[in-house]
Structure 1
Amino acid sequence: MPTKQRPYAFWGLPALAFALHGWQREYPWVLRPFFWNQKRKYGAILRPGLLWARVPRLFSAVAVLYGVLDRKSSPLSPVLRSLVTVRVSQINWCRFCIDINSATLAKRSGSMEKVEELAQWKESDLFNEKEKVVLEYTEAVTYSDQQVTDELIERLKVFFNEDSIVELTGLIAFQNLSSKFNSALDVPPHVFCKLPHDNSGNKQA
């Protein structure tokens, strides 16, 4: 009887059976390019991708949405997008998201300063007025005990048109989806970014 060919051999990856939380799963071949690209970019296949990929159609939808929100032609600057993703991740206690998004923010901003000050952005001089109103809006959308006011929307309109506000809201909503998904399934940090202390900035119960 011929030996069964191991999937992914061409891509230099192990067989498509990964154990996460004791769950075993074989992944369809159509996901090979994504996993290969992750391994090339990060040196490993990331656990959130493996979890989303258990439902390939859901995985594809999430990947497309993320690609649109983080595209180069976005009306939101790369640093602004990263400020949003890190702050939402902090609020939702997503260790993996804080890790990977903090590393991205540090790369985009050129230092760790904004990463380290983000939880205390209201008192920090590192953030300009545009960044502060975006962070205020991010918190108003994310915290369940806050509401978005007309006054806050008017302050956003000083810096953004209506289409850009819709896109900003979509980014905040997506990061809430992503961080809550990873937090619920206890996805650990990958150690992309070594943070010197707990800077979650969450409200105390």
Structure 2
Amino acid sequence: MKARMNPFAAAPAVMKEMLDFAGKVQGSGLEASLTELVKIRASQINGCAFCIHMHALDARKQGETEERIYLLSAWRESPLFTDRERAALGWTEALTLVSQTHAPDADYAAMRAHFSEEESVKLTLLIGMINIWNRISIGFQSIHPVSPRSEAA
């Protein structure tokens, strides 16, 4: 696989605006662990290897366990996630797959049971933001770092 282009080199000003906005969303006050789980899960759904790689590393740096990262794609069947995390992950799936789900009332109600109105907006912005980054990375075929030991033969 070869990267199509570097969007930061092609449009530095607008990409800086994206980074600034992403930083504001990241620093909005939601728990760091929850934020990374949401980013990883949306990236799994979208198939964004670059973002999965980045956010799994970030989650580990913040103390997330390997087991929870491995089981994230099957969060509904695992007892390792809190009710608040489950609500966020359900809302993440509903919005990431919005053309299929149309953000069902049940997913909204589950999310609202654990998030204030302000937190609901912050979570929704977070989900939207990671979906934008996934589309940038997938569209331009960003390649995640590869250690020599991990490289395919």
Same fold (TM over 0.5): yes
| In structure 2, distance between residues paired with 1:191 and 1:106 | 17
Match of 1:164 in 2: 119
CA drift of 1:191 comes to: 3.9
Residue in structure 1 matched with residue 88 of structure 2 by the alignment: 134
- Matching residue of 1:124: 78
2:13 paired residue among 53, 57, 67: 57
What is the alpha-carbon distance in structure 2 between the residues aligned to residue 119 and residue 157 of structure 1?
22
C-alpha offsets along residues 95-127 of structure 1, whole Å, 9 cap, x if unaligned? 110101011112223421111010111101111
Counterpart contact for 1:106–1:114, Cα < 8 Å: no
User: Does the residue aligned with 1:102 lie in a helix, a strand or coil?
Assistant: helix
1:99–1:191 CA contact under 8 A, matched in 2: no
Q: Which amino acid aligns with 2:103?
A: V
Note the C-alpha offset of 1:160.
1.2
Q: How many Å apart are 1:180 and its aligned residue? A: 1.3
Question: Runs of 5+ in structure 1 lacking a partner?
Answer: 1-19, 24-49, 196-205
**% same residue:** 29
Counterpart in the other structure of 1:31: none
List per-residue Cα deviations over 1:143-185 (Å, max 9, x = no partner).
1311212232222222211111011001101100101110111
Q: Give the secondary-structure state (helix, strand or coil) at the position aligned to 1:145.
A: helix
Asked if the contact 1:89–1:175 (Cα under 8 Å) also holds between the matched residues in 2, the reply is yes
Distance 1:150 1:133 in 2: 12
Aligned to 1:163, the other structure's residue is in SS state helix
| Structure 1 stretches of at least 4 aligned residues deviating more than 3 Å after TM superposition | none
Name the CA distance, whole Å, in 2 between partners of 1:69 and 1:191: 28
In structure 1, the partner of 2:110 is 155
Distance 1:124 1:191, change over 3 A: farther
2:56 corresponds in structure 1 to 102
Alignment match, 2:138: 183
Choose between structure 1 and 2: higher helix proportion.
2
Structure of greater Rg: 1
- Residue identity in the other structure for 1:149: P
TM-score by length of 1: 0.66
- RMSD across aligned positions (CA): 2.2
Gaps in structure 2 of 5+ consecutive residues: none
TM-score by length of 2: 0.86
Is residue 52 of structure 2 the alignment partner of residue 67 of structure 1? Answer: no
Instruction: Tell me the residue number matched to 1:37.
Output: none
